[in-house]
Amino acid sequence: MNIPTPALVTQRAAQPLPRWALWLFCAAYLLPGLFGRDPWKNADVTAFGVMAAMAEGRTSWLSPTLGGLAVDTALLPHWLGAAFIWALTPWVDAPMAARIPYAMLLAVTLALTWYATFQLARTEAAQPVAFAFGGEAAPVDYARALADGAMLALMATLGALQLGHETTPELAQLASVALAVWALAAAPFRGLRPRLAILAALPLMAASGAPAMAIGLGALATALCARSSFEAVRRFTPWVAAAALGAALVGATVHSWAWRIDDKVLAELPRIVRLLVWFLWPAWLLALWTLWRWRHHLQHRHISVPLSAAGLSVVACVAMGGSDRALMLGLPGFAVLAAFALPTLQRGTSAAVDWFSVFFFSACAIGAWVVYAAFQVGFPASTAANVAKLAPGFAARFSPLALLLAVLGTLAWVALVRWRTGRHQHALWKSLVLPAGGVALCWLLLMTLWLPLLDYARSYRPWTERIARHVPPQACVITRGVPMSAIASLEYFGRWRVQAERPGTSMDASSCQWLLVGEQRGKPQPAPAGWTYVARENRPTDRDEVSAVYRR
């Protein structure tokens, strides 16, 4: 017996988000942070350091190193960034050149999530209930409105903000997951293209450093396709199985298998729960609502496909002791699930999400402006004192363009709040406009008003400049107990020849005249034999990690 769907949608409610507004949302989400900033610690600058070393010929493209130490990471995403650095410099500075392909991967993820939701919402099992006298939403209009909601849900997710704008392999993995979800969604409709997409998605995921996730997703997708009631979907099963096999072969070929299971998961459960709550907000709330309201339809593809991708990422996150990068791979699945909550949301729930978004993001925007005023003009004095305490030595610089963009973004937020709190209650995607707009606003303010402060606090450039007071240019530097992110910064920002000391080995035979030793605050070490103490330096905003400089 066919169980009616819980979706009751009129044609009026199925209106699409205006394309100009959708493009504006995407631009506000993707472009800030692309220009004029340094790579940040830790994974971001480490990955960038590998790409820059490849592009500049300082290391091999097949077996990259930093400071002479082998880098255990996926090669394919680093090749992508290195190729853009090599092709675009000197016209574009290297950090921006490396970010361009990753911004494109994030844009591809947004687009694939939209198209996956559109295909799933067109299936018969996902259609809203037909009214006795007509007036229900047309299938294509309904699918388009839900797809707009899914894209907004993905942009509204808090956890995707920083990780989604880095130059790390996880962006390539995320785009691969989105491609796999689209392939599964489009399997009955698009002929050969979904087959080619799944054959590419899972091996690319494995080549980007996530072979276990690729095989797990392939296994779940194979089971879903094999049990489908649609002949077209069942014929898709061998292609998914072949893609999973290809992922396993690629993982073995590029040696991307690694044991990352944490044996202290129980002790980490409170932290993992907090991570799930804030990282996936508000998508997890809407996804749970979807699972409840569509609980009699869990076997249908519009629920089972995104649920498989989202559930697998949660399992991987928990197994890895609360890995936010593993959890990020579930964002396309959570966004699709969140979209299917929209036709069933009660007015009270929708209003609660709206008002929370208004107060939370407005408070964040006000805080951003207050701190900006504090370090630009010194008022409020207490806030300025706190900034000076947390970022000693920071010298503010004024940018008219950044101020103009921040003002325009704030005015757009005020206009969006006025629109949403007016008499616009019919569009399906209305409940996700404010969360997505608030996230875009906060990211815009951070990447305009706060960018100099954030660069000073999260970049290794100020630390490298402090080291440069004591170490001459082009010198050879031995590092001992210094993290890979700092080594990457020494090589790129300092332009020194770095030799990292391997555990259990001695670099006394090296001809390097300078030694950099990582220490913990309050635990200075005596000068090594044959070396003279010069100075101790730390990052301005991190007093715990101290680096001692020695001269032979």
* Distant-in-sequence, close-in-space partners of 464: CB < 8 Å, separation ≥ 6: 489, 490, 493, 494
Neighbour count for residue 415 (Cβ, 10 Å): 11
353 and 339 share a domain?
A: no
Report yes or no on 32 lying in a domain.
yes
Q: How far is CA 283 from the centre of its chain?
A: 15
Q: What average pLDDT does this structure show over 432-444?
A: 95
Report yes or no on 248 lying in a domain.
yes
Report yes or no on 419 lying in a domain.
yes
Q: Which of 65-74, 254-263, 486-495 has the lowest mean pLDDT?
A: 254-263
Domain count of the chain? 3
**Of residues 432, 411, 278, the one with CA closest to residue 341:** 432
35 and 170 share a domain?
A: yes
Report yes or no on 14 lying in a domain.
no
* Distant-in-sequence, close-in-space partners of 173: CB < 8 Å, separation ≥ 6: 205, 208, 209, 210, 213, 329
CB contact at 8 A, 292 and 284:
no
Structure confidence by residue, pLDDT tens digits, 27-49? 999 999 898 899 998 899 999 99
pLDDT for residue 1: 47
Q: Which of 7-21, 282-296, 388-402, 519-533 has the lowest mean pLDDT?
A: 519-533
Q: Band the pLDDT of 382: cuts 50, 70, 90.
A: very high
Whether residue 155 is predicted with pLDDT greater than 50 in this model: the reply is yes
The pTM of the full predicted model, rounded to 2 decimals, is 0.94
pLDDT for residue 519: 84
Q: Which residue has the tokens 């066919």?
A: 2
Last residue of a domain, one of 458, 493, 508: 458
Percent of the chain with pLDDT over 90: 70
117 and 221 share a domain?
A: yes
Whether residue 337 is predicted with pLDDT greater than 80 in this model: the reply is yes
175 and 33 share a domain?
A: yes
What's 16's DSSP letter? Answer: P
Q: Band the pLDDT of 423: cuts 50, 70, 90.
A: low
Whether residue 425 is predicted with pLDDT greater than 70 in this model: the reply is no
* Cβ neighbourhood burial of 268 (10 Å; 0-12, 13-18, 19+): middle
Helix or strand or coil: residue 83?
A: helix
Q: How far is CA 186 from the centre of its chain?
A: 25
Q: Band the pLDDT of 442: cuts 50, 70, 90.
A: very high
Whether residue 118 is predicted with pLDDT greater than 50 in this model: the reply is yes
Structure tokens of 296? 């009699």
pLDDT for residue 424: 58
Report yes or no on 67 lying in a domain.
no
182 and 118 share a domain?
A: yes
Report yes or no on 258 lying in a domain.
yes
Whether residue 324 is predicted with pLDDT greater than 80 in this model: the reply is yes
184 and 304 share a domain?
A: yes
Distance from C-alpha of 318 to C-alpha of 409, rounded to nearest angstrom: 37
183 and 327 share a domain?
A: yes
Last residue of a domain, one of 318, 344, 370: 344
* Distant-in-sequence, close-in-space partners of 310: CB < 8 Å, separation ≥ 6: 287, 330, 333, 334, 337
293 and 157 share a domain?
A: yes
Whether residue 476 is predicted with pLDDT greater than 90 in this model: the reply is yes
Q: Band the pLDDT of 259: cuts 50, 70, 90.
A: low
Give the residue, 336 or 73, on which the prediction is more confident. Answer: 336
- Encode 20-45: b = buried (16+ Cβ within 10 Å), e = exposed: eebeebbebbbebbeebbbbbbebbb
CB contact at 8 A, 543 and 521:
yes
Last residue of a domain, one of 289, 310, 344: 344
Report yes or no on 48 lying in a domain.
no
192 and 237 share a domain?
A: yes
pLDDT for residue 432: 93
245 and 287 share a domain?
A: yes
360 and 416 share a domain?
A: yes
Distance from C-alpha of 144 to C-alpha of 16, rounded to nearest angstrom: 6
Neighbour count for residue 552 (Cβ, 10 Å): 14
pLDDT for residue 522: 62
Report yes or no on 65 lying in a domain.
no
Range of the domain at 422: 347-458
Concatenated DSSP letters of 320-379: TTS-HHHHHTTHHHHHHHHHTTGGG--HHHHHHHHHHHHHHHHHHHHHHHHHHHHHHH--
Q: Is 550 left (phi over 0), alpha (psi -120 to 50) or beta?
A: beta
**Of residues 421, 147, 425, the one with CA closest to residue 306:** 147
Distance from C-alpha of 465 to C-alpha of 461, rounded to nearest angstrom: 6
318 and 201 share a domain?
A: yes
